[in-house]
Amino acid sequence: MPNNNYKNWETFISRTKIYLIIIAILIISICILNYKLILPGIIIYALIIWYTIWTNKKRKAELSEQLKDLTLNVNTTAKTTLINSPFPLTIVETNGNVIWKSEKFVTEFENLNINMNEYLTEIVKGIKLTIENSEDNKQDKVKGRIETNIKIENKDYKVMGSYVKSHKAHLKEQEYTTILYFIDETYLKKLEQKQKESDICIGIIMIDNYEEISQRISSEIKPQLVAKMEKYIYEWGAKYNSLIVKSDRDTFFCIMEQKYLEEAEKDKFNILDEVKDIDIPDITRPTLSIGFSDDGETNAEKATSARTVIDIALGRGGDQAIVKMDGRYQFFGGRTQEVEKRTKVKARMVSHALTELIGEADNVLLMGHSNGDMDSIGSALGLYRLTKTLGKEAKIVNETTGIGIDNFLMAAKKSGEYTEAFVTKQEALDIIKPNTLLIIVDTHKTTYVEAPELLDKVSKIVVIDHHRRSTDYIENAILTFHEVYASSASELVTEILEYSQIDVELTQLEVEALYAGIMLDTKSFTFKTGVRTFEAAAYLRRCGLDIIKVKKWFQSDLETYQVIADIVAKSEIVNDTIAISTYEDNDQNANIIAAKAADELLTIGGINASFVLGKTGEKIYISGRSIGGINVQLILEKLGGGGHITLAGAQVEGMSMEDAKQELINRINEYFFEIEN
C-alpha cells in the first residue's frame, strides 16, 4: 500500500472505523439475500469511503489554516514586544556580528564616548566563554539562558537573555546567536551601596593594661591619666561620627556606620598609636584592643560577634584592632610585645574549674598539636598526673616521633608507668564515652591538633594555650585558659597544678617534662620569659627537678649538628637584617632541624630575625625567630601560620621549596610595606 494511502487509511479509521464496519456488515447481509445488489453495494460502499476521506482532508485543511493564523498572530505579538521593549535589546552572534538593535538600545548608548560595537564584541566574547564552560554546553544542549553584570561608562547593567547554537555551514567554529536585554541597575546599585555604607557595625574598645597602670600610678595623677585616655577615645569616635558608650572602667562600646569604619581602616586605626604616645614615667605605655563586626542580622548578634572579635584581639596580645567584615578578618597593629599579667587569680579559677570537670568526666583524653614537641608532651603529662590523682582514666593522644622527643619517649617507656599512657588516634576514637573530657594543650587551632576527628566526637573540650589567637580557633570549648603572655603551655599547666585544691605529687619524669617544655619555648630562658615563668620553674625545682638530665634531652647528635651548621652557612640576608635558609632534604625531622637552625641564626651579629624552611613529604615547614624588633608571627600568619612575636611557624603545601621561599620573601616585603605606610 502506498505511503499516502496508508496515512489516509490511518487517519479516517481512527474515528469512523466502527461505522464503516457496521455498514459493510449490512451491505454484505443484503447482498447475501439478493446477489443482484452486490455491484450497487460495492459502489455505494466505495462512495462512502471516498466521502469519509474527503471530509477528513477538508477538516484537516481548516485546522491547519486556523493554526497558521494563530502562529502569525503570536509571531506578530512577539515582534511587536521586541521592537517596543522598554529595555535596550540586541540580537548578536558570538563572533561579533550584530544582527539587530532595538530603537531603545540605539538611544541608550548613542551618547557614550566609546564604540558600542567594539564594546559589544567584548561582551559577547565573555558570554561565549561562559556558554562554553557551562553545564548546558557540556551536556550538548542547543539552547539556554545567560545572565551577567557589566559596567558601561558610569552605569551598571544586568544583561539577561537566551542563546541558541548557530547552524551555518560557513562557520569554522561553533557560534551562538544571543538575544540580550540590558537592564539598568545603576540606581539600584547606588541604593544598595548607600544601604551598605549606612549599615551599623558594633565595636568594643578595651584598655589592655588598665589594671597594671592603676596599681602603679599614684592616686593623684590617676584621674587625669584616665581622663586623658578617655578623651583620646571619645575624640577618635567623634572623628568618624560614631557613638561611644563607656560600659566598664576599661571597656567602651562603639556604634559606627560601615562607611566610617572603612575610613578608620584607611587610617589604620591611628588611635592605637595615639594612646601609646601618652607619657607615663616609669610605667608601661597604655595600649588598646579594638574589635568590630558586622556579622549578624540584628544589633544583638553583631554585639555578640564583636565580643568574639575582641577576645581574639586580646588572645593575640592586645595593642591591635580587628575588623570582621563579611566573614573575613582584617588585622591592624599588634606589633608590640605582650604585657605579662602578674595576677594569678585566673590561674586559680581555671585550676578549680578544671578539677571539677575532670571529676565529673567518665575518662579524659589529652592532646597536643600535630608534630608534637616537649611543650605539648610536657603539659599533657602534667595534666595526666592531675587526672590520675583524681582517680580518673587518662590517655595522651600522640603519634609523633623524632629527634625532638625521642629521648624523652624512650625514658618514659623505660619507667614502665607510662607504657599504656600514650595512645594513637584510632585507639582514642575507640575509647570515647558519652561523658569523655578532651583537653587540648599547646594549640587552639582546629587544624593543628593531633587528631582533628576527636573535636567532632567529644562534646566537652578544654583548651590550654599560650599562642596568639588565630581566627580558626576551637569555638565550642567549655573552658579556655588562653594567656599569650605565658612562655609556654607547660608554664600554664604548672600554675594549674601549683594552685590546685588537691595535693598533686608529680613524678620525676613529669617534673622534667614540664621544665623541658618551658625551656624549649623560652630557648633556655632567653625569649618570652616573665616573673611567672621563673616562679613556675622554681616550683618545679622544689618538686625535685634534675636540670642536668633535662639538658641532655636537648643535645643534638654530631650528624644533626653538622646539618644545622650547613643550613646556617648557606643562609642569605634579605631586608638587611633577616636571614633566610633552606633544608633541602626530605626529612621527617625537618621541622625540628629548621627550628634549631633558625635559633642558631639569631646568634649571629646583625641578624634581627631568621627563617628556615624544611620539607617533610609534601609539607614545607617554616620556622621563624626574632629578637623582638620584627614580628615573625604577623609575617607567617600571612602564610596560614601563627605563634608569637619572637617565635612562630607555618606549614605550606602544593609548593616547591623555591616557590615557598619566594612567597616568604614576598610576605616579608609586604610586612615592611605595611609598617612604612
Q: What is the CATH number of the domain that holds 606?
A: 3.10.310.30
Q: Calculate mean pLDDT across residues 346-353.
A: 87
69: confidence class by pLDDT, cuts 50, 70, 90: low
Mark whether 366 and 510 lie in a shared domain. Answer: yes
Mark whether 97 and 176 lie in a shared domain. Answer: yes
The burial class, CB within 10 Å (0-12 / 13-18 / 19+), for 165 is middle
59: confidence class by pLDDT, cuts 50, 70, 90: low
Percent of the chain with pLDDT over 70: 86
Which pLDDT score is estimated for 8? 47
Give the residues across from 289 on adjacent strands: 206, 320
The burial class, CB within 10 Å (0-12 / 13-18 / 19+), for 426 is exposed
Highest mean pLDDT among 68-77, 508-517, 545-554: 508-517
Percent of the chain with pLDDT over 90: 29
CB 401 within 8 A of CB 395: no
Give domain status of residue 339, yes or no.
no
Burial of 133-148, coded b for 16+ CB within 10 Å and e otherwise, reads eeeebeeeeeebebee
Does residue 68 or residue 413 have the better pLDDT? 413
70: confidence class by pLDDT, cuts 50, 70, 90: very low
513: confidence class by pLDDT, cuts 50, 70, 90: very high
Which pLDDT score is estimated for 195? 74
Mark whether 431 and 539 lie in a shared domain. Answer: yes
Query: 291-324 pLDDT, tens per residue?
Result: 999 888 888 889 999 998 998 888 777 888 999 9
Mark whether 174 and 236 lie in a shared domain. Answer: no
What are the grid coordinates assigned to 298, written together? 540584628
Q: Calculate mean pLDDT across residues 87-94.
A: 79
pLDDT beyond 50 at 130: yes
Which pLDDT score is estimated for 7? 46
613: confidence class by pLDDT, cuts 50, 70, 90: very high
Mark whether 373 and 419 lie in a shared domain. Answer: yes
The total domain count for the chain is: 5
* Amino acid letter for position 147: E
State pTM to two decimals.
0.62
Query: 467-478 pLDDT, tens per residue?
Result: 878 778 888 889
pLDDT beyond 90 at 107: no
CB 194 within 8 A of CB 175: no
Q: Calculate mean pLDDT across residues 121-145.
A: 65
Mark whether 546 and 593 lie in a shared domain. Answer: no
pLDDT beyond 90 at 367: yes
588: confidence class by pLDDT, cuts 50, 70, 90: confident
CB 514 within 8 A of CB 493: yes
pLDDT beyond 80 at 554: no
* Amino acid letter for position 41: G
Identify the CATH number of the domain in which residue 429 sits.
Answer: 3.90.1640.10
Give domain status of residue 612, yes or no.
yes
Which residue range is the domain that position 434 belongs to?
345-553
pLDDT beyond 80 at 407: no
Give the residue from 82, 112, 135 where a domain finishes: 82
Give domain status of residue 340, yes or no.
no
Highest mean pLDDT among 100-114, 131-145, 221-235: 221-235
CB 636 within 8 A of CB 470: no
Give the residue from 36, 59, 82 where a domain finishes: 82
- Please count the other Cβ atoms lying within 10 Å of the Cβ belonging to residue 314: 19
**268 to each of 230, 263, 290, 309, how far by Cα in Å?**
19, 9, 12, 17
Give the residues across from 581 on adjacent strands: 612
Give domain status of residue 231, yes or no.
yes
What are the grid coordinates assigned to 603, written together? 646568634
177: confidence class by pLDDT, cuts 50, 70, 90: confident
Give domain status of residue 39, yes or no.
yes
Mark whether 419 and 361 lie in a shared domain. Answer: yes
Closest to 524 in 3D by CA, of 632, 602, 621: 602
Which pLDDT score is estimated for 203? 94
Give domain status of residue 299, yes or no.
yes
Instruction: Using the structure block, give the residue that is written with the C-alpha cell 598609636.
Output: 273
Identify the CATH number of the domain in which residue 286 sits.
Answer: 3.30.70.270
93: confidence class by pLDDT, cuts 50, 70, 90: confident
What are the grid coordinates assigned to 327, written together? 566573614
Which pLDDT score is estimated for 79? 62
**38 to each of 33, 41, 51, 301, 381, how far by Cα in Å?**
10, 5, 20, 98, 117
CB 68 within 8 A of CB 76: no
Q: Calculate mean pLDDT across residues 201-211.
A: 89
Q: Where are the beta strands (DSSP E) in 493-618?
A: 572-574, 578-586, 609-616
Mark whether 400 and 540 lie in a shared domain. Answer: yes
d(CA 469, CA 463): 12
Sheet of 288-293: strand order equals: 243-248, 251-257, 200-207, 288-293, 320-325, 328-333
404: confidence class by pLDDT, cuts 50, 70, 90: low
Burial of 290-311, coded b for 16+ CB within 10 Å and e otherwise, reads bbbbbbeeeeeebbebbebbbb
Length of the chain: 677
d(CA 158, CA 183): 5
365: confidence class by pLDDT, cuts 50, 70, 90: very high
Mark whether 403 and 468 lie in a shared domain. Answer: yes
Mark whether 488 and 357 lie in a shared domain. Answer: yes
Give domain status of residue 637, yes or no.
yes
Which pLDDT score is estimated for 14? 52
580: confidence class by pLDDT, cuts 50, 70, 90: very high
Which pLDDT score is estimated for 6? 44
* Cα Rg of the chain (Å, integer): 40
Query: 381-403 pLDDT, tens per residue?
Result: 999 999 999 999 999 998 877 66
Q: At 525, is the secondary structure helix, strand, or coil?
A: coil
Mark whether 38 and 146 lie in a shared domain. Answer: no
Q: Share the mean pLDDT of the chain.
A: 82
Which pLDDT score is estimated for 34? 76
pLDDT beyond 90 at 358: yes
What are the grid coordinates assigned to 567, written together? 643550613
Range from 122-126, 238-242, 334-338 carrying the lowest mean pLDDT: 334-338
Give the residue from 518, 535, 553 where a domain finishes: 553
d(CA 226, CA 246): 12
Mark whether 176 and 233 lie in a shared domain. Answer: no
Identify the CATH number of the domain in which residue 189 sits.
Answer: 3.30.450
Give domain status of residue 338, yes or no.
no
335: confidence class by pLDDT, cuts 50, 70, 90: low
